[in-house]
Structure 1
Amino acid sequence: MKKTVTKKTDLQFKQAFSGLKGVDIMAHTYPIEPMLVFTEYHMNMPVFGPHPHAGISVMTYMLPDSQQGFINRDSLGDFSYIEPGGLHVSQAGSGMFHDEFPKETGIDTHGFQIWINHKETDRWVVPKAIHANADEIPEVETDDYKVRIVHGEFDEKYSIYKLVTDISILHIFLRPNKSIWLKAEEMAFVYGLKGLCTIDTTEAQNQTLVNFGKDGNEIEIKAGADGFECMFCTAKPLNEPIVYGGPFVMTTDDQMRKTQQRLANGAMGELKPYKS
């Protein structure tokens, strides 16, 4: 049964800080939970510096068209290069510091920052770093499309790692005038990157967000004459209370107080500013 489009939103990049512009999609505005933040960004200089996270997993997916990648550092000792087409996940759990920034200042990076919610029993899982180079992300290619499996499964191929929250994130390249059918859970959305498409009677283009209703289990995307590139995400919502505290996300106020105390006590480790 096909899912029904419930909302189409044409978005645009906004300057967030010097050196960073983004398209921010948040769970308190759009029905994307268990994703909490889904941001397409362009960044050409260090912006944030070392900062903590807890209660969630934070993914950086560097798009293949990015001019360069990110350096990622964390309080667990990880030092990685997120190359174009690669990804890195900070499974923050009980708390960790990380820092990400373009390898070379002044050269554009293009990708996604994605916050993925944890259910209450996974809020304080052991922190860890998960990394995949571009050639480690499975791809399915036919005459009609290419699909990169950022996380989850497609056509009996699976991502090489598994997050604590079950979610499917696919990067899709549809060839001109071709279509693709996708399996969909209760929460599903399509976010356009390049070209034009039609989903039922809804047209979408770059920076268009298409949300779907809860019912149904499949979606068809039809590309226009120039093809269509998009991100497709789907999952079952956790449907648990969410307490936000800046970079921390918890289920109860008491958990948030304990998390803030852990930060104050140094239990999340330490990450000093980067010196090249």
Structure 2
Amino acid sequence: MQRREFIKGSAILGLTAIGTPAIVGASGMFHGTSQRRIHRILSADRVNVGTLPVLRAFAGNQQDYVSPYVLFDEFGPVHVNPGADPLRVDAHPHAGVTPTTYFLEGTGHHKDSLNYDFQIGKGDFMMFSSGKGAIHMEESGQELYEKGGDYHGFQIWLNTPAMYKFDDPSTTVFRYADMDMINNDQYNARVVLGELYGAKSGIATQSPAFYYHIKLKPDGRIDIPTDPTHNAFVYSIKGTLEVEEARQLKKNQVALYERGDSIIQLYSQQGAEFLVLGGQPLNEPVYSYGPFVMNNEDQIRRCIADYRSGKMGDPDAVNR
């Protein structure tokens, strides 16, 4: 049996006093002693999932810096012509993980073994909480097939805490009203998960997590407060961000931050669009075998057996 094993490492957390911020050199950034330090900047890799082009920032690795998240894919942007075959990922199982899907442009079609079959679109956020196991199919939606247009968004997996790994699966779609907004002269921010400056998401998670979609205006800056014991990372969708120590975060790059400090400081001269995510690290072993994310090899073997025996559903029925 082939598998990938990723064990959560330890990190030393420090306490830092909040100091008076100061301008760094000739940049637009403020610098304070509570600013988070960057561990590493990574560039997303191009892969195909089914017939869907994807940019993958991480998949199972980097857990000491991204947990409770476990995989990060940006699908598209790709233009779909009217009447073209849908971009599609055929029916496949998941267990022990919650794939989330967030649409920036276009529409999608989701069908699963839980008897859900629906269209989702721009601004929608879906959580496929796979628990002990379920099957789903994903493809570009009916509106794109009829009218054409751009298809763009994110599928980002939240790892499921050990105590919930074998719960019953569920599928939930959230709309604009479930996600709060912040609008000011520096930026617009949608709080998909968590809370930012009093704006709160109405979406519950199994462990503390945050997920912000932010658009900085030209010459705009934002200081994002975080729990120093939580992980945090930033992914650039469009434009260039100035991050810690005046480093540049370019399109399709992700900055992984160290723990121990609070504030993530971001600035853009020309304007930028990006995601900021993170949360409480699970501090649990992670065993990943394809779409199954568990805590040990015996659980992986159980998932494989359950899928093969039909306990997760019928992939042929989901594909129809």
User: When the two structures are superposed, what TM-score results if normalisation uses the length of structure 2?
Assistant: 0.79
Note if contact 1:82-1:133 (Cα within 8 Å) is conserved in structure 2.
Answer: no
1:243 alignment partner in structure 2: 287
2:93 alignment partner in structure 1: 52
> What letter corresponds to residue 126 of structure 2 in structure 1?
H
Moved more, 24-33 or 52-61: 24-33
> What letter corresponds to residue 198 of structure 1 in structure 2?
E
Query: Which of the numbers 252, 255, 267 marks the counterpart of 1:210?
Result: 255
Secondary structure (helix, strand or coil) at the match of 1:38 reads: strand
Per-residue deviation, residues 120-154 of structure 1 (Å, max 9, x unmatched) = 11111221111012454221111211111111111
More helix by percentage: 2
Cα drift, residue 216 of structure 1:
0.3
1:100 alignment partner in structure 2: 138
Moved more, 97-106 or 140-149: 97-106
Instruction: Confirm or deny that 1:172 pairs with 2:214.
Output: yes
> Structure 2 vs 1, CA of residues 273 and 128 (structure 1 numbering), >3 Å: closer, same or farther?
closer
- Aligned-pair RMSD on alpha carbons? 1.9
Instruction: Confirm or deny that 1:3 pairs with 2:36.
Output: yes
> Structure 2 vs 1, CA of residues 163 and 270 (structure 1 numbering), >3 Å: closer, same or farther?
farther
> What letter corresponds to residue 47 of structure 1 in structure 2?
R
Secondary structure (helix, strand or coil) at the match of 2:202 reads: coil
Matches of 1:202 and 1:78, distance apart in 2: 45
Matches of 2:134 and 2:43, distance apart in 1: 35
> What letter corresponds to residue 236 of structure 1 in structure 2?
Q
Matches of 1:193 and 1:247, distance apart in 2: 25
Runs of 5+ in structure 2 lacking a partner?
A: 1-33, 81-85
Instruction: Confirm or deny that 1:258 pairs with 2:302.
Output: yes
> What letter corresponds to residue 273 of structure 2 in structure 1?
E
Note if contact 2:44-2:57 (Cα within 8 Å) is conserved in structure 1.
Answer: no
> Structure 2 vs 1, CA of residues 35 and 17 (structure 1 numbering), >3 Å: closer, same or farther?
closer
Note if contact 1:35-1:114 (Cα within 8 Å) is conserved in structure 2.
Answer: yes
1:129 alignment partner in structure 2: 171
Secondary structure (helix, strand or coil) at the match of 1:85 reads: coil
> What letter corresponds to residue 265 of structure 2 in structure 1?
E
Matches of 1:268 and 1:259, distance apart in 2: 9
Secondary structure (helix, strand or coil) at the match of 2:259 reads: coil
Report which of the two structures shows the higher radius of gyration computed on alpha carbons. Answer: 2
1:89 alignment partner in structure 2: 127
Runs of 5+ in structure 1 lacking a partner?
A: none
> What letter corresponds to residue 71 of structure 2 in structure 1?
V
Identity %: 26
